[in-house]
Amino acid sequence: MDNNTASVEYIVLTVEQAAERLNIGRTLMYSLVSSGEVESVLIGRLRRIPLDALTRYVHKLSSATPNPEVA
């Protein structure tokens, strides 16, 4: 496979990339990071969001939100 066409899967994302993954706006993503609801790390001076932090956030939301169809 040609390296120029290979898909790269990053383990940390920019705030913009994380917002895109969650299908939310950039401003809301910055708010979630600032409040600590979504974990982020500093790499040098760069703020990045680990992929597993997005997964944990969504799991936390799904466990906190009752599903009326289940009851």
Q: What is the pLDDT of residues 23-60, one digit of tens each?
A: 999 999 999 999 999 999 999 999 999 999 999 999 99
Residue 63 has pLDDT above 80, yes or no: yes
Map out the domains of the chain as residue ranges.
12-64
- pLDDT for position 9: 85
The span from the CA of 43 to the CA of 59, in Å, is: 25
pLDDT at 1 over 60: no
pLDDT value of position 67 = 66
Which of 2, 3, 6, 34 is CA-nearest to residue 18?
34
